[in-house]
Structure 1
Amino acid sequence: MDKFSDMAMFVSIVKHQGLAAAGRDMGLSPATMTARLQALEERYAVKLLNRTTRHIALTDAGELYYQAAMEIIASVNETENRLQNVVEQVKGSLKISAPKDIGKQYILPILSEFSKRYPDVVPYLYLNDRISNIAESGIDIVIRYGELADSSLISRPLSSSWRVLCASPEYLAKRGVPLTPEALVEHDCLVMLRGNEELKTWHFQQQEHKTTMTVAAKRLSDDGEVIRQWALAGAGIALKSIVDVQDDINSGRLVTVLDGYMKNFNTSRSVSSADLNVIYTSKQYQPKRIRLFLDFLFERFNDMTQQ
């Protein structure tokens, strides 16, 4: 048996003033208790108890061992209580990374609402989608588009999505509606930047027919919310996630074009390549604040996108 178990057994013997009573409390037979006590005394080569049929008394060595065991057990119990309190308390940092447009439009208000409910949680919101190694980044939760390559991480779908080409009614009334991908060469296009890369090569698929177009970038930004605002202002056509612009489309502020094509920044043929996912490292020993925020995020995001 381990040393801590032996200490707990010895303290129980002293507490109950006998091996049989202590054994009943611990679910052990008198023979087992006797054998364990003998093994303990043999380990240290000292006598810990003077025993008679009706009474036990601590030897000097037994008194020393008993007091030390009591202190160690109390210390372990205090540590366990503290750890349990840490697990149960909703406090500490909460680090989230999200694309800029999703972060500003959805995650920011959700996180603000969560912070009001749990004021001891300190939120960090990183508005980017360029994290290459989630496990080493120190980020608790990553929200991003696309499929997950690293199978060691947990990925949960936050929202199904797809990409749409959209522009304001005013822009389309002035410049006309493109009916084919090739017609985009005649239009002003609003292009995302990813690092130093200009995402101006747009891929289209209609059944088995695939088309790739390099569009004319009229304006460029690494902020998806800026691209959306430019589109709303009539500056051109944008390739956006439906989640970002659904409200604008529902209200008529933006209109979609080339709806018969699957569109993307890459050549993936998977519809899920544009889905929005929540990614984190592990559910095991996950702090309560993270578990609570994940539940809150899925509930509130669903409410916001269903409105």
Structure 2
Amino acid sequence: MDKFSDMTMFVSIVKHQGLAAAGRELGLSPATMTARLQALEERYRVKLLNRSTRHVSLTDAGELYYKASLEILDNVNETENLILNGVKEVKGALRVAAPKDIGKQYILPILSEFCEKYPDVVPYLYLNDDVSNIAESGIDIVVRYGELADSSLISRRLSSSHRVLCASPDYLAKYGTPLTPQDLINHHCLAMVRSHEELKTWHFQGSDKKNVITVLPKRFSDDGEVVRYWALEGAGIALKSILDVQDDINNRRLVTVLNGYMANFNTSTSVSSADLNVVYMSKKYQPKRIRLFLDFLLERFETMKNGGK
């Protein structure tokens, strides 16, 4: 088999997270897929994939080969389009993951606008913030608060942010407004669950000392949009990113409390820990449609920061 076919096969294996599913896409039997992968690894004398009965993961060498294969295959596709159509077409799948609140309020309209400009791009929008391994997940771009631990990825800030405590006017009228972080013990708090951890230890920085409060939440969710909905309906006080609730605050659907304190889910007091970032593999290894969308996304957030539309 030629090297181009091997690259196509390897990218398919990573995309489908298995040899059998990739073989079905390529019309090859499991035995043929196994033999070709073994031959590929023997050619380079290095292991490219760690395999179990249900899962495959990239080795360091495999990740290098995968990234290079993506770049080469995309360049070939662009060259074919140029020859056939006389122009560089922008087409193919674009997979973006974002937290539900941010995804619906910000990323969805930006992605729709981008696809109107490039109608041959097929968008996939995944509304979650649990992606930790971009290469293995098949996601091209991750929008998230904070940064991923993987130092091989690139992270760029889309927007500065900070967390606020907020509640509906009806809730505050009924239960009163907390004046100190300690007052939250007696309030209905709404908390997130992340990776099975209940985020109920909230950190505050006052003018003179640090406060760590373990609240007693009345409701939990692993979905930030659900927590925001509960706050809007008057169920309690939520700790949210200002970006998630800015429109609600502007329209007085929610009111911030304890504004003299900086709040977070963890011990970090760094403002950047709450910033919204876009995380991706090096542009050097990205297809053109992904590079263009990254530029488009950064441009739109810059425009919003400057008060434009």
Q: How does 1:172-211 map to 2 (within 5 A)?
A: 172-207=172-207, 209-211=209-211
Equivalent-residue separation in structure 2 for 1:89 and 1:249 (angstroms):
42
Instruction: Give the conservation status (yes or no) of the 8 Å contact 1:164–1:242.
Output: yes
Q: Which residue of 1 aligns with 2:242?
A: 242
Shift of 1:207: 4.3
Q: Deviations over 1:60-92 (max 9, x none)?
A: xxxxxxxxxxxxxxxxxx999427669932101
Tell me the amino acid that sits aligned with residue 279 of structure 1.
V
Paired residue secondary structure (2:218): strand
**Which range moved further: 138-147 or 157-166?**
138-147
Q: Deviations over 1:192-216 (max 9, x none)?
A: 1213221111111124622111112
Equivalent-residue separation in structure 2 for 1:80 and 1:248 (angstroms):
44
Instruction: Give the conservation status (yes or no) of the 8 Å contact 1:165–1:258.
Output: yes
Paired residue secondary structure (1:217): coil
Tell me the amino acid that sits aligned with residue 297 of structure 1.
L
**Would the alpha carbon gap of residues 85 and 206 (structure 1) be closer, same or farther in structure 2, given more than 3 Å must change?**
farther
Bigger Rg, structure 1 or 2 = 1
Equivalent-residue separation in structure 2 for 1:295 and 1:239 (angstroms):
31
Paired residue secondary structure (1:166): strand
Q: How does 1:105-184 map to 2 (within 5 A)?
A: 105-184=105-184
Instruction: Give the conservation status (yes or no) of the 8 Å contact 1:189–1:237.
Output: yes
Q: Which runs of 4+ in 1 moved over 6 A?
A: none
Question: Percent of counterpart pairs with the same letter?
Answer: 73
Q: Which residue of 1 aligns with 2:80?
A: 82
Equivalent-residue separation in structure 2 for 1:207 and 1:114 (angstroms):
44
**Would the alpha carbon gap of residues 260 and 216 (structure 1) be closer, same or farther in structure 2, given more than 3 Å must change?**
same
Q: Deviations over 1:154-188 (max 9, x none)?
A: 11100000000001111111111101111001110
1:212 aligns with 2:212: yes
- The unaligned stretches of length 5 or more in structure 1 are 1-77
Equivalent-residue separation in structure 2 for 1:181 and 1:238 (angstroms):
13
**Would the alpha carbon gap of residues 192 and 81 (structure 1) be closer, same or farther in structure 2, given more than 3 Å must change?**
closer
Paired residue secondary structure (1:202): strand
Structure 2-normalised TM-score?
0.69
Instruction: Give the conservation status (yes or no) of the 8 Å contact 1:147–1:272.
Output: no
Please tell me the root mean square deviation across aligned C-alpha atoms, in Å: 2.3
**Would the alpha carbon gap of residues 152 and 180 (structure 1) be closer, same or farther in structure 2, given more than 3 Å must change?**
same
Shift of 1:99: 0.9
Q: Which residue of 1 aligns with 2:50?
A: none
**Would the alpha carbon gap of residues 79 and 127 (structure 1) be closer, same or farther in structure 2, given more than 3 Å must change?**
closer
Q: Deviations over 1:88-111 (max 9, x none)?
A: 321011011111111111111211
Q: Deviations over 1:14-60 (max 9, x none)?
A: xxxxxxxxxxxxxxxxxxxxxxxxxxxxxxxxxxxxxxxxxxxxxxx
- The unaligned stretches of length 5 or more in structure 2 are 1-75
Instruction: Give the conservation status (yes or no) of the 8 Å contact 2:161–2:242.
Output: yes
**Would the alpha carbon gap of residues 280 and 206 (structure 1) be closer, same or farther in structure 2, given more than 3 Å must change?**
same
Equivalent-residue separation in structure 2 for 1:247 and 1:304 (angstroms):
13
Q: Which residue of 1 aligns with 2:290?
A: 290
Instruction: Give the conservation status (yes or no) of the 8 Å contact 1:205–1:211.
Output: yes
Structure 1-normalised TM-score?
0.70
Equivalent-residue separation in structure 2 for 1:294 and 1:253 (angstroms):
33
Shift of 1:148: 4.3
Tell me the amino acid that sits aligned with residue 156 of structure 1.
R
What number of residue pairs does the alignment pair up?
230
